[in-house]
Structure 1
């Protein structure tokens, strides 16, 4: 299995924009400076410029280079959340707020598609969290029960329903959420990028943050310029700890993906799957499988890895790519000879309690941050950026933002304990998942 020549240093959805915006090479001022041109940063910028604010966005690479353009493209609402953990840690009412937050993220993203006429191959098919072995049925039913208690309505699709819907036979039964669906995240983030440029947002790409000085007016330094502004938003997600912010609160976890070459018509006919619903498995560390608008299969996750010191190297992970190819072969054995078109990796930001990390820093409380979406941020990260922008504009504060900003996320362990504990836990979860996979092979 030769994957060595398939690695992409950028996500597999889109190519690097042709109209890369110039690096900052001056000392300028703004009303708000935003670090990171992903979903949170661009949605914040788009809201801010509506009232005439002068907005500067600084991006180390190009808009969408990080998780916003590398994810699996699932607009999933509250499907697959850790409902039981939220109940245990937060209690019923606060757990309902978390679930509502993720559900509202679907509404927000769909609104952005329409408002800015973004064509991102959105398939409003709903999503499935599927079992691959009968032993997972109890877990699926329990998730549906708790989700309903917290305000998220999931349907149980038994084996007959799955077969009637044409879902590939490896997925036996599961929970289905009718809201949301799948999309091309590269097209979504590039659509936001173009909208921001057209709206007058000053986007500087190839412009990393060097340092910042807090105060009533914040000074942000870059290699060849600086920005003074009364407000700063860190919208840098998994890269935030390496900027000296939230290093004890979130950790970046490496996630990988593979994409096949386009399927032939005969292969598509054999596959079925007419609704093209996005599927995640009910493993401890899920697999995700989806059929794209360009008739390729994309398989992601399966393994997670923490890099020592919260580092985020943009390097291939061939062990993970091979594990994903094996998963693809196991779920779709009749496609075992299909070629892999590309593989890539990226980083999600993870908080100890799986609650998004949103708040302010500095003596003037004018440094905002939004991170810790734990792999569920396609709808919510843009929404948080939008809500922070409204707070800066002194509009009525969204109750969901108030809830998140009041929540105190627990600290992570210091190194080297963090590396040892996190990777030990991830390894143990992988071993449990492999036991389930072995049971499937034995059927």
Structure 2
């Protein structure tokens, strides 16, 4: 399999935007040209603001161009990690925020005419062994209590939908579906440029200085504005902010060669619903518009010091290929074409981290997507733009909470690696049981 350092969904633009030279000024400087940054820029431009976006590589280079492409709402959100911390009523509003993110993205796809192979098929969280049913049903009950609309599918329901037989039962939501995240983020890029947003690619931010006017320094220039938005997610700690609130975790993906007509017929799966599993470290499985299978996550990793090296994760790719063989035995011989890895940011309570910093409270940030970035980080654009123009966003109070602090190194490395190792052991025990033939 071939490692793709830029992910499997995007290619470098044929005509990249120029790197920043000299000095520019604007009403708002946005750092990061992913889902959050570009949606923020578009929201602000629609309200008449002049916006500069600084991107160290090209739009979509980071997590936005490397994820699985699930436009999912609150299904599979880790309710138990935050329910007791924030209380039932605030948890309901947080769930509503996740679900509203799906509607937000669907609206933007229509408004900007972005063709990104979106299939509004819904999403299934499906078990591969009977031992997973208790956890899945418990999570589903909690979700229903908090307003997450879903229904249980038994084996007969899944077979009626043509879902591959490795998946035994599931929790299904009609909300959302799957898309090509690369086409989506490039569509946002085109829309932002058309709206007059100044995007500077190949422009790494080296530092920024606080003040009534914030100044951002890059390798060959600088930018200043009354407001700075850091839409850099897992990379935000490298800019000197949120290092004690979020940690970058590396997630990985593999993509197969295109399936033949015979293989597609043997597979079934006519609705092409996105499937994720209730493992402690979930697997996700989907068919793409190019008739390949993309399988993601399975194993996640943390690099000491919260670093984010763009390197292959061979162990993760092997685990993902094992999942491919386990779940789709009818596709024996199907080759893996490519693999890639990237970083999501996660807080200890698995909630988004959004707020403001600096003496003048004019440095805004959004991070902590926790693997739900397509919907939530897109909708952060509206949330941040509302904050900047003084509009009261109904979801902002729901997201205001005290994010638990991370541990100092080396304690964090020890704690995270130990936890991930234990979760992998538990998940592999389930997988071994799933491989055993039924008595």
TM interval, shorter chain, is: over 0.9
Q: Secondary structure at the match of 2:3?
A: coil
Contact persistence 1:57–1:202 (CA under 8 A): yes
2: distance between equivalents of 1:311 and 1:86?
Answer: 26
What corresponds to 1:346 in structure 2? 342
Contact persistence 1:370–1:385 (CA under 8 A): no
What corresponds to 1:224 in structure 2? 220
Give the superposition deviation at 1:85: 2.4
Give the superposition deviation at 1:334: 2.0
**Which of 394, 397, 401 matches 1:402?**
397
1: distance between equivalents of 2:337 and 2:327?
Answer: 18
2:89 pairs with 1:89: no
What corresponds to 1:376 in structure 2? 372
**Which of 18, 22, 31 matches 1:22?**
18
Contact persistence 1:328–1:336 (CA under 8 A): no
Q: Secondary structure at the match of 1:168?
A: coil
2:39 pairs with 1:58: no
2:301 pairs with 1:311: no
Give the superposition deviation at 1:139: 1.4
2: distance between equivalents of 1:14 and 1:36?
Answer: 16
Contact persistence 1:278–1:290 (CA under 8 A): yes
Q: Secondary structure at the match of 2:163?
A: coil
Contact persistence 1:316–1:344 (CA under 8 A): yes
Counterpart mapping for 1:243-262 below 5 A: 243-262=239-258
2:134 pairs with 1:144: no
What corresponds to 1:181 in structure 2? 177
What corresponds to 1:302 in structure 2? 298
Q: Secondary structure at the match of 2:289?
A: coil
Counterpart mapping for 1:267-278 below 5 A: 267-278=263-274
2:419 pairs with 1:425: yes
Residue ranges of structure 2 left out of the alignment (5+ in a row): none
1: distance between equivalents of 2:328 and 2:233?
Answer: 34
2: distance between equivalents of 1:40 and 1:14?
Answer: 17
2: distance between equivalents of 1:356 and 1:85?
Answer: 12
What corresponds to 1:329 in structure 2? 325
Q: Per-residue CA shift, 1:7-32, capped at 9, x if unaligned?
A: 00101012111110000011111100
Q: Secondary structure at the match of 1:374?
A: coil
Q: What value does the CA root-mean-square deviation take over the aligned residues?
A: 0.8
2: distance between equivalents of 1:356 and 1:14?
Answer: 25
2:37 pairs with 1:41: yes
Q: Per-residue CA shift, 1:159-215, capped at 9, x if unaligned?
A: 000001000000000100111000000000000001001111000000011111101
**Which of 280, 288, 291 matches 1:292?**
288
Q: Per-residue CA shift, 1:237-256, capped at 9, x if unaligned?
A: 10111111100100000000
1: distance between equivalents of 2:398 and 2:87?
Answer: 13
Q: Secondary structure at the match of 1:285?
A: coil
2: distance between equivalents of 1:180 and 1:24?
Answer: 37
Contact persistence 1:384–1:401 (CA under 8 A): no
What TM-score comes out, normalization by structure 1 length?
0.98
Contact persistence 1:57–1:201 (CA under 8 A): yes
Contact persistence 1:69–1:189 (CA under 8 A): yes
What corresponds to 1:116 in structure 2? 112
2:201 pairs with 1:205: yes
Counterpart mapping for 1:424-443 below 5 A: 424-443=418-437
2: distance between equivalents of 1:196 and 1:21?
Answer: 12
Which ranges of 4 or more aligned residues in structure 1 deviate by more than 4 Å?
Answer: none
What corresponds to 1:415 in structure 2? 409
Give the superposition deviation at 1:84: 2.1
What corresponds to 2:64 in structure 1? 68
Contact persistence 1:95–1:150 (CA under 8 A): yes
Residue ranges of structure 1 left out of the alignment (5+ in a row): none
Contact persistence 2:317–2:339 (CA under 8 A): yes
